[in-house]
Structure 1
Amino acid sequence: MDSARSSPKRIVVADGQPIFREAMLRIVRGTFPQAELYVASDLESLMARREVDPELIVLDFLCPDYDPVFSARWLRGEFPYASIIFVSSLDDRRMIGNVVANGADGHIGKSATPEEIAEALQAIVAGAPAGRPTAPSSRNRGELTPRQREILDLMAEGRSNKEIGRALNISPFTVRIHVSAVLRFLEVETRAAAVAKAISTGLYPRF
């Protein structure tokens, strides 16, 4: 995992439901114990957090009058340098893809366990997709992380997610998060297409 991107210093947890907000705070605090945490319950309080310059925003959709794609695009404009991760009950895969394409760095289902949410938060922060603006001190998001390169190498060898997980000592859930980030980076929809493009562009093999 890329340590420069895996330990955000300022995090905002935003959700209109107090019970879920408190649960997410506990998960985020345990995942990033060195970070300063801030909360927001609605759009107004979220906007008030701009002054803290958050590096990570974890939220449910806070724009009930707009669709998720609009919300993602709007939030990216308001917080251009932050990683933005939605944790919601949205289960439409096409919509989730559009949300990511329009500004979000990732989406995690609310049905995931606390352990899975923590793993996904770390994986998404470490492997945020390309195409976002970057602050001067941040990692170039136009590059694959070292972990993503390992995943790509094993994908090229024909390994399954379970086999990749065993090889890297990570869970299949975390493997899926990284594979999705690789597919987004390469702008393809399948593993086979990802490997083919990686070979044609010189990303694989690395040596």
Structure 2
Amino acid sequence: MKTTPILLIDDHALFRSGIAMVLQASLECVEIFQAGSLEQALRLADIEPCLVLLDVQLQGVSGLEGIESLRRKWPVAKVVMVSAFDLSEVVSEAVERGALAFISKTERPERMLQQIRELLADDGAPAPRSVAISPRPRLTPRQCEVLDLLCQGLSNKMIGRRLNLSEHTVRGHVQAMLAALQVSSRSEAVFAARRLGLIR
């Protein structure tokens, strides 16, 4: 049976080996390759990864700076950003540079695995940046306002002040919006919103 090659690029060896063990134990027919830096990854020969899990903050060339190099070396590989930081500007830049998805290191392992399974199950080539990867969700005008401010990096409290809403009400809008976008974190929401063209 054909194996699916996955490349992990992360300069934290402990995190890298932990993720490799989880993927190896939970996914069928995968072959895991590891690199501690972008330079090391680009020197790998004789592999054609289907999926690249790329840490945002690498020593040397950062993950964000390396997306285009990875896409040139492996054009059909799906590049997925992995980060402990939930920053909308990081997510936006990753989308601009051609990353296909964003996974937070703070996610529960089962949620991370679900995202990876979905990416592997979609056997098409990476979508062009301008193409939506799923149907546009229906958001209320208020949810669109909240989403726009969330994408600017504002907290629920700051969004509430800007829109003259209670923090509790904003939290409700954020939860409804996450459900509509089928994501579980603010950074994933920003990523999805940029991909779907919901915000500029």
Q: 1:86 aligns with which of 76, 81, 89?
A: 81
Distance 1:47 1:104 in 2: 17
CA contact (8 A) 1:58 1:87 kept: yes
CA contact (8 A) 1:84 1:104 kept: yes
Aligned to 1:112: 107
Superposition deviation, residue 180 in structure 1: 4.6
CA contact (8 A) 1:56 1:84 kept: yes
Q: 1:11 aligns with which of 3, 6, 9?
A: 6
Distance 2:119 2:71 in 1: 16
Aligned to 1:131: 128
Compared with structure 1, are the counterparts of its residues 114 and 44 closer, same or farther at alpha carbon in structure 2 (3 Å cutoff)?
same
* Higher Rg: 2
Query: Does residue 189 of structure 1 match 2:199?
Result: yes
Q: Does the residue aligned with 1:49 lie in a helix, a strand or coil?
A: coil
Q: 2:53 aligns with which of 52, 58, 79?
A: 58
TM-score (norm 2): 0.62
Q: How does 1:12-27 map to 2 (within 5 A)?
A: 12-27=7-22
Distance 2:90 2:190 in 1: 18
Aligned-residue CA RMSD (Å): 3.7
Aligned to 1:202: none
Q: 2:30 aligns with which of 7, 13, 35?
A: 35
The percent of aligned pairs where both chains have the same amino acid is 22
Distance 1:93 1:178 in 2: 9
In structure 2, runs of 5+ residues without a counterpart are 141-175
Q: Name the count of aligned residue pairs.
A: 162
Compared with structure 1, are the counterparts of its residues 50 and 161 closer, same or farther at alpha carbon in structure 2 (3 Å cutoff)?
farther
TM-score (norm 1): 0.60
Superposition deviation, residue 107 in structure 1: 1.9
